[in-house]
Amino acid sequence: MRKQIVVSLILLFTCLWQSLSGQGKYPKGYFRSPVNFPLSLSGSFGELRQNHFHSGIDIRTQGVQGKPVYAIADGYVTRVNISPVGFGKALYIAHPNGYTSVYGHLKSCTGATASWIRSQQYKQESFTLDKEVPADQLKVKKGDLIAYSGNSGSSSGPHLHFEIRDTRTQEVIDPLLFGLGTNDRIPPKITYLKIYPWDENALVNGKQAELLLPVLAKGSGYGVKNNDTIKVSGNVFFGIETSDHADGGLKTGANNIELTVDGSEIFSQHIDRFAFSQTRYVNSLMDYSAYLRSKHKIQRSYIAPNNRLEVYQGVKNRGVVAFTDTRIHKIRYKVTDDLGNFSLLTFWVKSVPPSGRNPLSGSTGNQAVQTFFCKQENHFERPGIRFDIPAEALYEDLPFNYYVTDPVQGSYSDLHHIHNPYTPLHTFCTLSIRANRLPAPLQGKALIVSLEETGLFISRGGKVENGWATTRIREFGNFTVAVDTVPPVIRAINIFKNKNVGKQSDIQMKISDNLSGIQSYRGTLNGKWILMDYDQKNNLLTYSFDDRIKSGKNHFVLIVTDAVGNSAHYEANLLR
């Protein structure tokens, strides 16, 4: 009996170990596909986006909305999130095996779920809804029709955003690891190599400047275009631009990367799961400046001091390699996709011992006005400006630059040039600007704006108190104070006063604002609130007719308010 118990315990711990380690830790065959057609992806898990990793896979829906979406397993709806931005209309289903599936950018839900959502929206008198569903209230079975695909929220085209999460931690996991893969036999592509001097004594090809090199397919792998040996001196690190191409699919991200020097691993990253609290660290993983300037998605094989991502393994010296001898070194990248297809990039560098301090190549001679330290709080103050950066808002210590110029047309303060937009900030920082040209009657309409290269003002919000406008910003740039005294614009699309709407099924209205942005809207019919679906990217409000529109005359009213309190009003009698 004792022997049987011991054997059972061994088997139990073996199963637990297998379920918590390696590729075997994710069950295959438990989940079905959320759609009934072959998966073709337009976005992969962990793909690099500005300010976030892509948290799921984007399933193409043949360029149209309204494709049936199915529950991938038995479970129950735990949350609905309806928003004019982000995932738009999203549904969350918990499954008994410890995972939650998420379906985003939906056109609509079905059945009891759709009825529950609508009842909650009318109860709260709000289109926007982010609400947990009581356990077991909305049960589903594997294969149940739960929704129709759409283009809601911040989607740029019809598709289904699909996620699988660890229910307990809410970490997102690559859905393809659960056996929901495509017939992908194409290895990742590598398009660029980049080499970075890490400190003031490092050189790449004799210069203290980053070197971007095109990469070409050569034989069974990849090599640099000109095949030359690259000279490196001192502390440098590397990065590559890579992508994956599924059979018949679009270019997506490739995020399993290993780097070796002379056969020894110095860096490895595997993005198969992550927590949402870590997603903004993508701005440190990628070459943020290169992305903003040229849209190159260079993945840096380097961990900055304040990069808290947990996707790295086997990293030596944060990915920085010291080249201090006179030898030639073999550098190799291996990039692998979810199904095991891989590509190799091999190149050689000639090490040159550093000769000492080198002047910055291409320096303009501008000196930093202050050094900001990434591990501590930083305060900057000059006449007309106060700026506070919390600890760990920066990924690395920063030689901070600042200057001020005269006010631009339409502004009410000097123009403050705060560093540059090519350096990322991880958390919000507090910015205050003295509104020294602002008339007292306009204080309630004032806000901080950034001046874009196009000359346009972009609202950054804020309020004025005691002569100072204050807001929180998450990007460097050029900032000033402006006012918004113009109410939003309301334009009727398919109605007019006294129109007979008996042959139509909805009311459509366009709404927009010139600066501070739409804060709220409220539509009523015969004095009662009506549900108006807000498609923010198209500035469109839609009320689909229901039992709230009656036969005969109906009085429709729409009030739209912007972020500083300006309001617009539209009303019309409609006949039915």
pLDDT at res. 357 = 60
First to last CA, the chain: 81
Q: Is 7 helix (H, G, I), strand (E, B) or coil?
A: helix
Count: domains in the chain: 5
Q: CA-CA distance, 562 to 518, in Å (whole number)?
A: 4
Q: What is the DSSP string of 51-107?
A: TEE--SEEEE-TT-S--EEE-SSSEEEEEEEE-SSTTSEEEEEE-TTSEEEEEESEE
| Same domain, yes or no: 98 and 111 | yes
Q: What is the DSSP string of 153-207?
A: TT-SSSEEEEEEEETTT--EE-GGGGT------PPPEEEEEEEEE-STT-EETTB
| Same domain, yes or no: 127 and 18 | no
pLDDT band at 257 (very low <50, low <70, confident <90, very high): very high
| Same domain, yes or no: 227 and 304 | yes
| Same domain, yes or no: 123 and 88 | yes
pLDDT at res. 321 = 98
| Same domain, yes or no: 202 and 340 | yes
Q: Which of 157, 178, 199 is the last residue of a domain?
A: 178
Diameter of the chain measured on Cα atoms: 90
249: pLDDT strictly greater than 50? yes
pLDDT band at 40 (very low <50, low <70, confident <90, very high): confident
pLDDT band at 12 (very low <50, low <70, confident <90, very high): very low
Closest C-alpha among 298, 285, 282 to residue 194: 298
| Same domain, yes or no: 36 and 163 | yes
pLDDT in tens, 387-431: 999 999 999 999 999 999 999 999 999 999 999 999 999 999 999
* Structural contact between residues 282 and 51, judged by C-beta atoms closer than 8 angstroms: yes
More reliable by pLDDT, 10 or 465: 465
**Is residue 21 included in any domain, yes or no?**
yes
Mean pLDDT, rounded, of the chain: 92
pLDDT in tens, 110-161: 999 999 999 999 999 999 999 999 988 999 999 999 999 999 999 999 999 9
| Same domain, yes or no: 338 and 272 | yes
Q: Is 431 helix (H, G, I), strand (E, B) or coil?
A: strand
pLDDT in tens, 522-566: 999 999 999 999 999 999 999 999 999 999 999 999 999 999 999
pLDDT at res. 248 = 55
Read off the CATH number of the domain in which 413 is found: 2.60.220.30
Domain that holds residue 447: 370-483
- Which of 33-47, 111-125, 263-277, 524-538 has the lowest average pLDDT? 33-47
pLDDT in tens, 203-215: 999 999 999 999 9
**Is residue 362 included in any domain, yes or no?**
no
pLDDT band at 247 (very low <50, low <70, confident <90, very high): low
| Same domain, yes or no: 40 and 106 | yes
**Is residue 361 included in any domain, yes or no?**
no
pLDDT band at 186 (very low <50, low <70, confident <90, very high): confident
Token code pair at residue 196: 């970075």
pLDDT in tens, 60-75: 999 999 999 999 999 9
Q: What is the mean pLDDT of residues 279-289?
A: 98
pLDDT at res. 225 = 87
| Same domain, yes or no: 250 and 386 | no
pLDDT at res. 317 = 97
pLDDT band at 447 (very low <50, low <70, confident <90, very high): very high
pLDDT at res. 135 = 87
- Which of 226-230, 292-296, 479-483 has the lowest average pLDDT? 226-230
21: pLDDT strictly greater than 80? no
| Same domain, yes or no: 141 and 237 | no
18: pLDDT strictly greater than 80? no
Name the pTM for this structure.
0.90
pLDDT at res. 165 = 98
Q: What is the mean pLDDT of residues 5-29?
A: 49
pLDDT at res. 530 = 98
**Is residue 363 included in any domain, yes or no?**
no
